[in-house]
């Protein structure tokens, strides 16, 4: 039976930024199926030109209000790579701790407030405040806790001020470490309740095989802060070869660039990390994955949310482990970084290039800097997770629509909205630069 459907979702809700879903079916034939990114370019790479490399973390953290700490750490890593500064073991542990806090904060927001409404058939989390108030209270309590943990560590979660090139301007005291430890122990119960809740909810069934890309390293850890770039297709390259991975390109109807490696697209994010590094998850996170019936290689993009839940369990447990190491060793307060040129002489400066690659909630984040001999920016390039996912989302849509085309237009629309939301896109972050030819 022929079917004509026009779907035009202007400004998809429950995602960060502005994106449209456009689908046209004519006589049962799919003629248009695309994800339009309609944000204005952010131009952060241009903002950096002429600025000091020491300013970069405080500028680039403004790229995103959700992944501020991740951008800060990618920026710091790129700067330290250029300046040939090697962070201490204590600094590395604290940075890993900060990434755990950010993963938790962002994932909890997405899991409970952006995805859960779809799974229970309501348009937003607002109706849940009446039908399931305890669940919303739990979500908000968990998110507030994560914000407060970031405040203890780096002053604030959004646009952090304590993490800088070389280390931290303030280091936690033993009492602050003990306070963070106590709160993370409390968070364990909430995470158990979260796993149990979502194990009872039904996610859409869909699958499309693709290349998944994430950090890999040879350490016995679930890598978020350092590593090479690897994929489920068996490839692994140095972070300095990132351009051979991303191969950015543009399409006429989107201001965000797209990427591909060995296929027409690839995916980054929690599901990609799980598919590549699940064997290195904490034991409790592996148990959560079993309870949620998540196994690698999972090719259902809707289950990215489930992978985020598993990561939350891991982040809580690994954060507890890191804090216990720091408590046992004691914090060396002499490592405080005071970026005061008058007190400590000229800060290190050199010409060169540096690359930072970290895992943020939505996937692989890359910062690439080039500076002159004064440490002043000549060029910068930031490759954001969402623009790495955009082509993959659209190819998922192209496969999904023919499979559900016998459903009503309302059902097809909801399935497409849920698909895009599952990737947890941060659309504003993805549109840094477009090339204009006049």
Alpha-carbon distance 104 to 147, whole Å? 10
- What token pair was written down for 281? 């998850």
pLDDT tens digits, one per residue of 310-346: 999 999 999 999 999 999 999 999 999 876 544 444 5
Instruction: Looking at the structure, give the CATH architecture of the domain made up of residues 44-430.
Output: Orthogonal Bundle (1.10)
Q: Tell me the three-class secondary structure of 161-180, residue by residue.
A: CCEECCEECCCCCHHHHHHH
pLDDT tens digits, one per residue of 97-144: 999 999 999 999 999 999 999 999 999 999 999 999 999 999 999 999
C-beta separation of 214 from 385 below 8 A: no
Alpha-carbon distance 153 to 167, whole Å? 12
C-beta separation of 390 from 430 below 8 A: yes
Closest CA to 327 of 76, 166, 97, 99: 97
Q: Where are the domains of the chain?
A: 44-430
Q: What is the mean pLDDT of the chain?
A: 93
Q: What is the pLDDT of residue 428?
A: 85
pLDDT tens digits, one per residue of 390-401: 999 999 999 999
Q: What confidence category does residue 42 fall into, taking pLDDT thresholds of 50, 70 and 90?
A: confident
Mean pLDDT across the stretch 41-68?
A: 90
Mean pLDDT across the stretch 31-58?
A: 91
C-beta separation of 294 from 303 below 8 A: yes
SS3 19: strand
Helix (H) or strand (E) holding 389: helix 385-404
Within 10 Å of residue 284's Cβ, how many Cβ atoms? 18
SS3 339: coil
Closest CA to 190 of 153, 127, 145: 145
Q: What confidence category does residue 49 fall into, taking pLDDT thresholds of 50, 70 and 90?
A: very high
Name the CA radius of gyration of the chain, rounded.
22
pLDDT at 73 over 90: yes
Alpha-carbon distance 277 to 286, whole Å? 11
Between these two residues, 78 and 64, which has the higher pLDDT value? Answer: 78
- What token pair was written down for 274? 């799980």
pLDDT tens digits, one per residue of 133-174: 999 999 999 999 999 999 999 999 899 999 999 999 999 999
Q: What is the pLDDT of residue 164?
A: 95
C-beta separation of 224 from 359 below 8 A: yes
SS3 21: strand
Q: Tell me the three-class secondary structure of 27-92, residue by residue.
A: CCEEEEEEEEECCCCCCHHHHHCCCEHHHHHHHHHHHCCCCHHHHHHHHHHHHHHHHCCCCCHHHH
- What token pair was written down for 57? 């973390």
The structure's pTM equals 0.95
Mean pLDDT across the stretch 285-298?
A: 98
């Amino acid at each position: 039976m022929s079917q004509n459907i026009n779907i035009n979702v202007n400004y998809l809700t429950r995602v960060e930024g502005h994106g449209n879903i456009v689908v046209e079916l004519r006589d049962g034939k799919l003629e248009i199926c695309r994800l339009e990114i309609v944000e204005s370019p952010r131009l952060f790479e241009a903002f950096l030109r002429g600025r000091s490399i020491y300013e970069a973390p405080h500028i680039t953290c403004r790229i995103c209000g959700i992944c501020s700490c991740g951008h800060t750490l990618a920026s710091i890593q790129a700067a330290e790579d250029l300046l040939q500064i090697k962070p201490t073991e204590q600094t590395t542990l604290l940075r890993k701790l900060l990434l755990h806090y950010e993963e938790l904060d962002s994932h909890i927001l997405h899991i409970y407030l952006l995805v859960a409404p779809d799974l229970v058939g309501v348009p937003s989390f607002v109706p849940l405040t009446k039908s399931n108030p305890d669940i919303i209270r739990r979500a908000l309590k968990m998110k507030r806790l994560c914000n407060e943990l970031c405040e203890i560590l780096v002053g604030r979660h959004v646009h952090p001020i304590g993490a800088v090139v070389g280390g931290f301007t303030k280091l936690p005291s033993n009492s602050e470490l003990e306070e963070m430890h106590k709160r993370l122990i409390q968070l364990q119960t909430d995470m158990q309740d979260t796993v149990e809740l979502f194990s009872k909810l039904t996610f859409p069934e869909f699958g499309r095989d693709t290349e998944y890309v994430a950090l890999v390293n040879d350490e016995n850890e679930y890598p978020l802060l350092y590593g090479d770039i690897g994929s489920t297709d068996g490839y692994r390259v140095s972070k300095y070869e990132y351009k051979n991975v991303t191969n950015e390109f543009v399409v006429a109807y989107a201001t965000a660039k797209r990427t591909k490696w060995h296929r027409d697209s690839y995916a980054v994010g929690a599901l990609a990390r799980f598919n590549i590094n699940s064997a290195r998850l904490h034991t409790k996170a592996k148990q959560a994955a079993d309870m949620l019936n998540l196994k690698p290689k999972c090719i259902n993009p809707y289950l990215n949310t489930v992978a985020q839940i598993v990561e939350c369990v891991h982040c809580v447990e690994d954060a507890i482990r890191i804090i216990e190491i720091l408590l046992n060793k004691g914090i060396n307060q002499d490592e405080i970084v005071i970026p005061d040129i008058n007190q400590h002489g000229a800060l290190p400066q050199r010409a060169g290039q540096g690359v930072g690659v970290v895992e943020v909630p939505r996937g692989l984040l890359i910062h690439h800097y080039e500076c002159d001999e004064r440490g002043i920016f000549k060029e910068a390039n930031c490759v954001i997770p969402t623009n790495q996912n955009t082509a993959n989302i659209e190819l998922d849509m192209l496969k999904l629509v023919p499979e559900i085309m016998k459903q009503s237009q309302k059902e097809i629309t909801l399935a497409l909205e849920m698909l895009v939301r599952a990737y947890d896109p941060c659309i504003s972050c993805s549109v840094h630069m477009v090339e204009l030819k006049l």
